[in-house]
Every structure is written in C-alpha cells, then in structure tokens.
Structure 1
C-alpha cells in the first residue's frame, strides 16, 4: 500500500501534465514550501491535513486541496480507503466516475521483514503523478470536500522484492485521458498499459530513517 509520499518544493523536472500548466506547478511549489517538506500522510480524525490534488475543471487541470481517504456520514471511512486496487476498478469500472492525479516527487514503503524504508521515484527533483479515484465527502465539521484514493497495481519485477504493489503512475501523455476519459473498463486497462511504460525508469533507494522529511533521494 502507499501510505505516505513526498512533495519536494525544489523540483526542477515536471512530468505531470503533457502541457505544463504554470499555475498548477507554481501552486504545488508554494504549497510544498509552506509545508516545509513534510511527508504527506492520510487525512484522519486527528490529522486534518488537506493535500494538493490535480483535477479537471471544464476539461482543464485544476489544483485543489483534498482529503486523503474517504469520508462516510461525516467521518473517516471505517474500511480501508486510502488505496484502491486496479483489479477492483477493472471489475467495477463504476469506481472510475471521478478521477484525479496526485502530484509527488516520490513515495515511501517499508520493506518487510527487514523493516527498511525505501523511497521510490524517478530521481531527485522529478515531479510526477499518481492516479487516484475521487468522491465527495462531508468532513466532521460539516464541510464538503473532495476525497481521494490512490490506485495501486502489481509492482514491476525489479521492485517486487521491496514491495508487492506500486501506485499506478500517469505518464504526461496520458494525463488528459485519465482526468477526462469515459469511466469504462477500457480506461483502466489503457491506464495500466501507460503506467507500465514507465517501469524501466522507476527506482528505489533506502532511506536513512523514517522521519518522513518529504525529500526524495
């Protein structure tokens, strides 16, 4: 599962959208600087962080704060909701009705049984996107917000020994399709093929500790 990720404000390479949207990139950089490189974690009863999410508004990429995990009846869902298996979406494509891209410079996983933390990504300073499905939810304070769940798929062979699943990454050329395409089985199948095209570039390195400073490599 993916339970934490980073957003380094020092990113210099952006592989998020096919056509770089300067407003989105500047918003991400400002958000990351204001949050002092903190690791992004699921939102919950005690941790009320809202994380930056790229959605589509009238077909254009838009940045908005969002709750990581689903809200049900004004409270965090009692079932696991921060991640969604790609296989589940293939079986039930209705879950694709609303989608987003999660910006990151790397995600963190604990290798078991060695209990060694690793950082996964494309290298220092590279901003990229993880696929997510979304739905609206009411917070404990009564406010409505966008909630998201990161889509997970089987890990490529060279990373499977570290963790058996990875986020489904979104290549820049597929970003518009993911955000605005019809919610069908074909869409998730195409997204999986697109994500696999990035496998050779994915790398992982051990972290010095698990403090979660949000900085990749």
Structure 2
C-alpha cells in the first residue's frame, strides 16, 4: 500500500504489477470471481503487506542502461571533486599525463628526435597524417581505451540523456527532479524525486 501500486494475480500465481502511482490515501485488497449466487463469501488467506520497493530498475531502453548509470555517477563525482582546491591540482596533473599518452600510443611508442632544422620540422608536422583507427593494432586500441578514453569521458561525458540519478525537467511547470528509476522493465513510467519538498514522488 505504501508503494501505491495495484497488482493482479490468478489463484496462486505471482502477482503482476498493473497500476503505479495510485492517487489514494488507503488501498484495500480486492477479489474478483465469477458466481451466480448472490451473497457468496470469499476468504482471504496468506495476506502479505508489501512495502516500497527498494530496487528500482534503470529504465532502459528509454533511459540509460545500468553500466552507463554507474559510469556517469563516477564522472559526476570526479567533477565535483575537481572544484575542491585540494583535488584540482592532482586531477589536472593526472588528466594531462593521460592525454600526453595519445601521441606515443598512436605512433607505436617511438619517440624519435629528428636532426633537422625548425623549418623542416614544421613541414614534417604539416605533412604528417594521423593513422586511421582501422590501422591501429589491437594493443594500441586497448591502450587508448584503458588509459585515454576515461579522461575524455570525464571531460565530455558519456550519455547526456535520461538516466537514474540524473536531473530532468517537467516541461509544463519547469520544475526539476531527480530520476530514481522504474519499477519494472520496459515501463514507460518512472519514479521522480522533486526538488521541492512539498511535492510528492510521482
């Protein structure tokens, strides 16, 4: 009843969720049966009270899948730490060191020094072409994904769409809320926590 949901079941089968966010202060069990005898009584056995579900689903495919939810949560944590003075220098140093690995990884780890003039070096840089992704070896791609891609994910993010734990905005009222997740897989409804304390979860 606290979950404000209504589920239906036949005989001893597991109840299936049918309605969510029922706008009622109290809910009561309901039994439906076919009978031609008026006044026939029905007994309820093994009545169980079910509380609020604690394990909400991420809501994919309409929302981001579970791995993306965890990844975006880690990114948001790093970005918040970045705004703390004690963390800023360390994060900058680490990210810069990882970004500087792009050249050595793509070029096969060779750091050759050319004994040419500055003009010849400039010409070599202009004429040089970065290798296509298809030409990189498996070890190069693995190194880029493990060492460089996480830094790029922190800078640009991975998925800016709807995700559990992310912010969303109601078009009509303009209110913002945190997306908590959905009760069942494939559901088009989701649980929200509104920023206003007087607004209930819908």
The structure carrying a bigger strand percent of its residues is 1
Alignment TM-score, normalising by the size of structure 1: 0.19
Considering only CA atoms, is the larger Rg found in Structure 1 or Structure 2? 2
TM (normalized to structure 2)?
A: 0.20
Higher RCO, Cα 8 Å, sep 6+: 1
